[in-house]
Amino acid sequence: KTPLSAQRPFLESRKIVILKMESMVPIGDAPQRKLSRSASHGSNTNLDLQHDGVEDTLGYRIKAVEKEGVAKGKKEISLWHDVTLVHIDPATDRPTPYLNFVCEIPKFSRKKYEIATDEVGNPIKQDEKKGKLREFKKGDIFFNYGCLPRTWEDPTFIHPDAEGCRGDNDPLDVCEIGARIVKPGDVRPVKILGILCMIDEGEADWKVV
């Protein structure tokens, strides 16, 4: 198991901002798109997914909601701000040696889903360019793709190991190489194996494996 004490410096050394867990207030100038100061979610135990709109349209959204309180209406939460970076064991309510992974794109698929960082509640949407939905054109991806909650790649920081490029202003990306297919919006505990940096249109785009 990778100790949590070893994982945190691993992220901080790359100027990947970890959003404060106790208040959900971002460090520095990280963008904030939360709904309210709700309780944190350390696992997917009390989370459900709600699909709004029609799939394969610009208005389609996948939202995370709390399972409890259905009679009063399900409370929407942010997969970026309201899910903790560190995975919490639902049985003991204690931190584990793993981090939470939020899936955006399932393995063996092509639709380019992503967390909408500029929308209230940060739902998952299909990326678009010039009014057209985006997907991978060269084939399916062979891993589950997503991000680490409460992280943010600082666009004001020039990293010495990234050819002088700045952060891409998004959560830290993850390539999850487990055997199972994870659906968009699911939260799973993961162990960090390594990281590599890609340069995307002049921005540093770190990928955690």
Report residue 4: phi and psi, to 5°.
Answer: -60, -35
User: Residue 35's pLDDT is what?
Assistant: 45
CB-count exposure of residue 186 (10 Å: 0-12, 13-18, 19+) = buried
User: Residue 118's pLDDT is what?
Assistant: 94
For 8, the enclosing helix (H) or strand (E) is helix 4-12
> What is the mean predicted confidence (pLDDT) over 10-36?
47
| CB contact at 8 A, 89 and 96 | yes
pLDDT in tens, 55-71: 999 999 999 999 875 44
Instruction: Place 107 in a pLDDT band, splitting at 50, 70 and 90.
Output: very high
Q: Which residue has the higher pLDDT, 97 or 30?
A: 97
> What is the mean predicted confidence (pLDDT) over 12-27?
46
pLDDT in tens, 67-105: 875 446 678 899 999 999 999 999 999 999 999 999 999
> What is the mean predicted confidence (pLDDT) over 174-179?
97
Q: Indicate whether 11 pLDDT > 80.
A: no
Distance CA 56, CA 60 (A): 7
User: Residue 27's pLDDT is what?
Assistant: 40
Tokens 């100061």 belong to which residue?
37
Compute the mean pLDDT over every residue in the chain, rounded to the nearest whole number.
84
> What is the mean predicted confidence (pLDDT) over 180-202?
94
Q: Indicate whether 207 pLDDT > 60.
A: yes
User: Residue 74's pLDDT is what?
Assistant: 74
Q: Which domains occur in the chain, in start order?
A: 4-208 (3.90.80.10)
Closest among 81, 77, 56 to 149, alpha carbons compared: 81
pLDDT in tens, 109-133: 999 999 999 999 999 999 999 999 9
> What is the mean predicted confidence (pLDDT) over 165-187?
95
